[in-house]
Structure 1
Amino acid sequence: MHPEKRREERQVSKRKNNSTKKSKKKEEKRLSVQKTIRYKEMGKDGICRVQGNTYSKCIRFYDINYQLAQNEDKNAIFENWCDFLNYFDSSIHFQLSFINHKSNMKEFENVIRIRPQHDEFDDVRMEYAQMLKHQLATGNNGLVKSKYITFSIEAENIKLAKPKLERIESDILNNFKVLGVPAYPLNGVERLQIMYETFNPDASADFQFDYGSMIRTGLSTKDYVAPTSFVFKEGKTFQMGITIGAVSYLQILAPELTDKMLAEFLDMDKDLIVNLHVQSVDQMKAIKLVKSKVTDINRMKIEEQKKAVRSGYDMDIIPSDLNTYGGEAKRLLEDLQSRNERMFLVTALFLNTAKSKQDLENAVFQTAGIAQKYNCVLRRLDYQQEEGLMSSVPLGVNHVPIKRALTTTSTAIFVPFTTQELFMGGESLYYGLNALSNNMIMVDRKKLKNPNGLILGTPGSGKSFAAKREITNAFFVTNDDIIIGDPEGEYYPLVHALGGQVIHISPTSKDYINPMDINMDYSDDDNPLGVKSDFVLSLCELIMGTRNGIEAEEKSVIDRCLPLVYQKYFADPKPENMPVLGDLYDCLRKQKEPQAQRIATALEIYVNGSLKVFNHQTNVELNNRIVCFDIKELGKQLKKLGMLIVQDQVWNRVTINRGSQKSTRYYIDEFHLLLKEEQTAAYSVEIWKRFRKWGGIPTGITQNIKDLLASREIENIFENSDFILMLNQAAGDRQILAKQLNISPYQLSYVTNSGEGEGLLFYGNIIIPFKDKFDKSLKLYSLMTTKPEEVEERKKLEAERK
């Protein structure tokens, strides 16, 4: 072959080799990001083969109220948490991960969004929507906090690992159940999402992945979670994509730790990931290790004593450090041998991330400041940032060799529970900001087992305002009907603004409510008269004013008359055939028994006399979405009767709405008045017991806690109320309520001399302190306030407009 041709071929071959080498280098470079992410396979069921023969699973758990709990409750939680830790033997490594990351605000905005309806209420509707947006911006909801426990074991293959992991998972979930902590295991997609969000904190796109697409594209799970790049050039920081991060470890120097330390780290308003890697030491090995340390210290003591004698000193004069360490080692040995203590090797890692180096340094400085406050030191991992980052992902493997030996009690001091948050989707309503975390509180009472509620507070604490805010919110967000029992005439400005019907019931008013109103769905069974009979008996008891209730003979007479009175209506159910109180009176007069005449005589003043306001057919619009019964002008004699009749009208509405799958919200102000009288109290308890399955949501509002608690029926009311909004309380009432509702002294401080719109929210078994500063410049505020000077101001403005 010609030499020139051979040279040309060699050059072509060389170019090919160079090109192959370059593409190989490119390939290696492309894979380097994936190589950094240290796991082998992520299964669909959430089992991950991390390295070699190590397999892990992950469980997400939620918060319980630990920081706010009573001391005895705290002790119980702490002891259960110690038992939880002692469950893990030396074959299981576990990792507690606490992730605080800034979230896309869109999901929160979607929950609070109120859209215009292009009707006459859009001005107040959009004002309320604007107020919610402002509160979201004021609050801290951009920070999402999540908690995980990841556990890993060694096994020869997945087939052997799976049953072991599932058994451990089941035990952990049961242990969480004992603590009252909601928890659930994560599948493969959920575990990958955590890694995606950790490695791509600034990603605008949501995590998109399914195992089917992986098979089609030929990509691995790492390709979906990896950032654009990892850079570990500097010893004390690293870069992933455009985010700068730093991993530090906690050097525990304090002789005693406090359960507040972890909570304070997690309360930081910064992107932060805290990881506790915990490895249990075999009990026999731990005892052997401590025994050898005690022996070493004793040997050193003897050496020091010999030195002292040789030098002519008292042999008891030895270095104080040896005495201290000797005492500690003996106590530790005693704990391991005779108390329910184990030894754990703990690594506490902190991952701070930020967009700029300056922001990162500030975040690390703030984190270090909290550590210093508790006599610990936060040290940066020098040239181990890659290992630190991979140990900060919930995979269940620790790549950082820095460990601290702690007993069960010392490890348990990192209690992972602080205070619960309440931010729900669906038809959630706004109840203020969490006073501890500043997060918005959005809850749906319908999701409670029993949505019945109470709003309690001293005058001026904002209880009526809180009720009106919930009414307004429910009007804008839900399709529910709203009925208000208003003994003080406080609600009509708001009801008018929302296009509702205000019914003024008084001896001089022309608005009439017929206490004999009934509908065919009035009862669960086919006989609507069954329940109506109870109401009429209560009405007669109240009218007759008998302390011991009406007698059996009198009840029988009334029960006999009712079918006769309703006969015409049941035969032809049209409004004009509805009986009135006078029809019952006439029927009683026709009976021969003296009991019938006695009842009729008691009814006479309400039928033909000066108090005949309730002896008319109903002439007001009761099918409006908001109905307010204003009974302020009824006077003392008629007010109790009026409240009982309003409750019966509410029951009527609830039964009608049940058929159309609609909820009915009922607000009763001055609720203690209803519980004063035996008849109205008994009827109120019936409402509290029966409303739930009929789609009713009653709410009692009162400032007179002593009157409320003096009622024999209050136990039934509290037992059937899963929602309580408690504002500022008087000193005497606080102690009674604390006992009744099991409130800790710390929780009680939130209703002691608290400002308006501040207090405690009870939602099921969750208790959250809240604050609500409503913008006073809004039109809605002027409609909701009950402050005399502000009410006068509103009336003046209304008069000027007219």
Structure 2
Amino acid sequence: MEKRRAKEEKKAAKQQAALKAAKKGSRKASCGKADQKEKQKEEKRISAQRTIAYKEMAKDGICRVHDKCYSKTIRFSDINYQLAQNDDKNAIFENWCDFLNYFDSSIHFQLSFINQKSSMKEFEKVIRIRRRHDEFDEIRREYARMLHRQLAKGNNGLVKSKYITFSIEADNIREAKPKLERIETDILNNFKILGVPAEPLNGAERLKILRQILNPDELGDIPFDYGAMVHSGLSTKDYVAPTSFVFKDGKTFQMGNNIGAVSYLQILAPELTDKMLAEFLDMDKNLIVNLHVQSVDQVKAIKLVKGKMTDINRMKIEEQKKAVRSGYDMDIIPSDLNTYGGEAKRLLEDLQSRNERMFLVTVLFLNTAKTKQALDNAVLQTAGIAQKYNCILRRLDYQQEEGLMSSLPLGVGHVPIKRALTTTSTAIFVPFTSQELFMEGESLYYGLNALSNNMIMVDRKKLKNPNGLILGTPGSGKSFAAKREITNAFCITQDDIIIGDPEGEYYPLVHALGGQVIHISPTSKDYINPMDINMDYSDDDNPLGVKSDFVLSLCELIMGSRNGIEAEEKSVIDRCLPLVYQKYFSDPRPENMPVLGDLYDCLRKQKEPQAQRIATALEIYVNGSLNVFNHRTNVELNNRIVCYDVKDLGKQLKKLGMLIVQDQVWNRVTVNRATHKATRYYIDEFHLLLKEEQTAAYSVEIWKRFRKWGGIPTGITQNIKDLLASREIENIFENSDFILMLNQAAGDRQILAKQLNISPYQLSYVTNSGEGEGLLFYGSTIIPFKDKFDKSLKLYSLMTTKPEEVKD
């Protein structure tokens, strides 16, 4: 019995031990499940990085999007498309079609247009005017306040960027890299044909774009360093990822502190216009537009269309059979079938006989905002533009994550909604609108862009040829524009400023800026010597080479010769000049500088009758009543701003005075060149210098020579016909990369349109335009501008030439 009891107890103990072991195993299993759940939770915690749809971003800019997909990105700039001539527009459009046709079915490409608010501090740095702690700081403060007000009116806080990202399938990076580089070279060459500046992006630059998109609140620039990433153990995704993603709602998503929504464009319109994309990009909102484009193999595309035509014909036959059975005319079939049949037939013809390809296109819009109401307003505004062009903007239902990842310039589309379009239909989303001009450095203000309302800030010194013209009818604001540039240059540059003033309009401003006003008239005691010269007057060792051109021009004006002075007369003058300057060159002191009378005396000593004829013409300017120019210079010419007021010279002497002023400017330019200082020269009534052949030729020489000597001349005139009548005007235009064109008279508009190749649309900005409105030509860029200067400012009273506003 005891043995049996012992066995039973032993058996019970074993069962209990087994039960304990089973329970322990169960606990271990439940712990394992708990650990797995915890692990899943941990994975969810790091899903912000996991959501971003790429694997690696290499330093050279190649991104491995997924196992067998690699992409690169190119940034490209804008060109003037909306403002171009119709012929130029057609040429750009055709080149853009050729650009699209380059991509075969092995390349997926994505066009990204990013409008994002940025920190105004960056723009404020450009317009900042520093104090110099002198008596002119009040003027600088007032001009700076005006610039800040103009900045607030514009959209300069909205940064617009354009990118093209292309991707290919490849087994590994070694296979992908040469293919991507070849495609990149071809794309850059195609952009070059279009005249579009473009540059490939490296890895850090691509990451910066991703960071800006995913962190729209972050206004500062945080640089990325691949070296630091290696040491820290972080990945590139840690740099670009926001604090969180939330995709709970089917129609919106949360990204950090921002709410966003992705929509797609449903194209219903039978025909689209090239203005639609431009209007989307003109929105003053955070908006990212993406076009994912995939070319369809030409053989497959034709086969697809033929298949659709077969289906339509089959449906037509079925409808005809029904009609016959019902006793109707067999030609009566649903109108949709006829419409679709005709469209399919035209599409097939395009693919077979014209230079057309088929593309599968997805157009996505990403709106972001701080609040849901602001987001809804932005989406509503975007949808309104789509509706205007007979298209519908639809939210992506429960595909917001895919839509967001497709909105990143990675070269892969995750949204399966596609629309088949031909080359021409795809090219209608032409990515070019108009250029902006907002430069850093010593940039001056020229108004607001009439299209985008952005400030125009440019530096003429950065042009190949900074020479300029300001053209406009009376009252259009040309003198005001010149004075505004003078004031701006005074405030932010160290340049010398010289003004030729035939109408006495500039002296109030010059006095306010502490400049020297030289009044030249028959009764004035201010004298300038036309024979002034310095040892740096020419590039070579003989300064008389250039001075001779001036003296010949002077004599031509004095003699009143319409056909220019004769060769014999030129020879006589050229012989006399070395004799006249001999004393000064041997001992260059001011008292040894010759005057006009010395040239007159030398000519009288010559035997030729031509010499006596020139001397006789000079006599009234030497010994007669017009001897104002037969004196040594007795005024201060070293002031930073010098204004030559020749208003009271009268008709007979005014042209002569303007020519002599031009020679004085050349003297100043040659002196400043040695100190690497720029000289800005403004000459009003510029057409007067182009009337006589010799003075026009001398002006052209100045225009050509000024650039390499640091001179920046600006001709100002309202008499366009007189200006264009000169045979030398083509040389002036060819050597002027800066033109400020204000309102023009009807006859002048047509002449200028032909001369400068201005489109009718561009011409509308100088047709019956208000004061301070017109076109700015900056190199190859043409921008319509407007400038409403604050009339309450003291500066306005110094600049205006309106009789009722001029203060005595």
Please classify the TM superposition score into its range, dividing by the shorter chain length: over 0.9
Please state whether the residue corresponding to 2:377 is helix, strand or coil. helix
Q: What's the counterpart of residue 71 of structure 2?
A: 56
State the Cα distance separating 1:169 from its structure 2 match: 0.4
2:767 matches 1:768:
no
1:520-559 matches, cutoff 5 A:
520-559=535-574
Q: 1:472 aligns with which of 456, 465, 487?
A: 487
Task: State the Cα deviation string for residues 638-683 of structure 1 (Å, max 9, x = none).
Answer: 1111011000001111111111111111101011111112222111
**Preserved contact between residue 196 and residue 207 of structure 1 (Cα < 8 Å):** no
CA distance in 2, matches of 1:679, 1:255: 62
State the Cα distance separating 1:15 from its structure 2 match: 13
CA distance in 2, matches of 1:548, 1:520: 32
CA distance in 1, matches of 2:525, 2:41: 89
Please state whether the residue corresponding to 1:345 is helix, strand or coil. strand
State the Cα distance separating 1:195 from its structure 2 match: 0.5
Q: Tell me the TM-score normalized by structure 2.
A: 0.96
Task: State the Cα deviation string for residues 401-457 of structure 1 (Å, max 9, x = none).
Answer: 000000000000000001110000011100000000000000011111111111011
CA distance in 2, matches of 1:19, 1:782: 81
2:470 matches 1:449:
no
State the Cα distance separating 1:690 from its structure 2 match: 1.0
Please state whether the residue corresponding to 2:805 is helix, strand or coil. helix
**Preserved contact between residue 728 and residue 758 of structure 1 (Cα < 8 Å):** yes
1:297-376 matches, cutoff 5 A:
297-376=312-391
1:184-583 matches, cutoff 5 A:
184-583=199-598
2:770 matches 1:752:
no
CA distance in 1, matches of 2:695, 2:171: 71
Q: 1:308 is matched by which residue type in structure 2? A: A
Q: What's the counterpart of residue 789 of structure 1?
A: 804
Q: What's the counterpart of residue 3 of structure 2?
A: none
Please identify the structure whose Cα radius of gyration is greater. Answer: 2
2:644 matches 1:629:
yes
Q: 2:676 is matched by which residue type in structure 1? A: Q
Q: 2:237 is matched by which residue type in structure 1? A: K
Q: 2:114 aligns with which of 91, 99, 103?
A: 99
Q: What's the counterpart of residue 665 of structure 1?
A: 680
Q: What's the counterpart of residue 39 of structure 1?
A: 54
CA distance in 1, matches of 2:32, 2:636: 91
Q: 1:631 is matched by which residue type in structure 2? A: V
Q: Which deviates further from its counterpart, 111-120 or 202-211?
A: 202-211
State the Cα distance separating 1:248 from its structure 2 match: 0.3
Distance of aligned partners of 1:526 and 1:20 in 2 relative to their CA distance in 1, 3 Å threshold: farther
**Preserved contact between residue 119 and residue 220 of structure 2 (Cα < 8 Å):** no
Q: 1:577 is matched by which residue type in structure 2? A: N
**Preserved contact between residue 130 and residue 492 of structure 2 (Cα < 8 Å):** no
State the Cα distance separating 1:19 from its structure 2 match: 9.9
Task: State the Cα deviation string for residues 213-260 of structure 1 (Å, max 9, x = none).
Answer: 001101000000100001101000001110000000000111111111
CA distance in 2, matches of 1:527, 1:20: 93
Please state whether the residue corresponding to 1:691 is helix, strand or coil. helix
CA distance in 2, matches of 1:14, 1:500: 93
Task: State the Cα deviation string for residues 538-594 of structure 1 (Å, max 9, x = none).
Answer: 111111112222222222221111111111111111111111111111111122222
Task: State the Cα deviation string for residues 380-400 of structure 1 (Å, max 9, x = none).
Answer: 001100000000000000000
Q: 2:557 is matched by which residue type in structure 1? A: L
2:600 matches 1:585:
yes
Q: Tell me the TM-score normalized by structure 1.
A: 0.96
**Preserved contact between residue 565 and residue 579 of structure 1 (Cα < 8 Å):** yes
Q: Which deviates further from its counterpart, 103-112 or 581-590?
A: 581-590
Q: What's the counterpart of residue 165 of structure 1?
A: 180
**Preserved contact between residue 96 and residue 147 of structure 1 (Cα < 8 Å):** yes
**Preserved contact between residue 640 and residue 680 of structure 1 (Cα < 8 Å):** no
Please state whether the residue corresponding to 1:697 is helix, strand or coil. strand
Please state whether the residue corresponding to 2:112 is helix, strand or coil. strand
Please state whether the residue corresponding to 1:790 is helix, strand or coil. coil
CA distance in 2, matches of 1:768, 1:511: 42
Structure 1 unaligned spans of 5+: 796-802
State the Cα distance separating 1:477 from its structure 2 match: 1.1
Task: State the Cα deviation string for residues 759-792 of structure 1 (Å, max 9, x = none).
Answer: 000111111000000000000000000000111x
Q: What's the counterpart of residue 195 of structure 2?
A: 180
Q: 1:563 is matched by which residue type in structure 2? A: P
State the Cα distance separating 1:57 from its structure 2 match: 0.3
Please state whether the residue corresponding to 2:271 is helix, strand or coil. coil
2:149 matches 1:134:
yes
State the Cα distance separating 1:27 from its structure 2 match: 3.8
**Preserved contact between residue 456 and residue 703 of structure 1 (Cα < 8 Å):** yes
Structure 2 unaligned spans of 5+: 1-16
State the Cα distance separating 1:21 from its structure 2 match: 6.4
**Preserved contact between residue 513 and residue 617 of structure 1 (Cα < 8 Å):** yes
Please state whether the residue corresponding to 1:733 is helix, strand or coil. helix
The two structures, once aligned, show a CA RMSD in angstroms of 1.8
Please state whether the residue corresponding to 2:635 is helix, strand or coil. coil
Distance of aligned partners of 1:618 and 1:15 in 2 relative to their CA distance in 1, 3 Å threshold: farther
Give aligned pairs, total: 789
Please state whether the residue corresponding to 1:743 is helix, strand or coil. coil
CA distance in 1, matches of 2:77, 2:669: 36
State the Cα distance separating 1:13 from its structure 2 match: 9.6
CA distance in 2, matches of 1:331, 1:485: 66
Distance of aligned partners of 1:327 and 1:204 in 2 relative to their CA distance in 1, 3 Å threshold: closer
CA distance in 2, matches of 1:546, 1:322: 82
**Preserved contact between residue 744 and residue 766 of structure 2 (Cα < 8 Å):** yes
2:137 matches 1:122:
yes
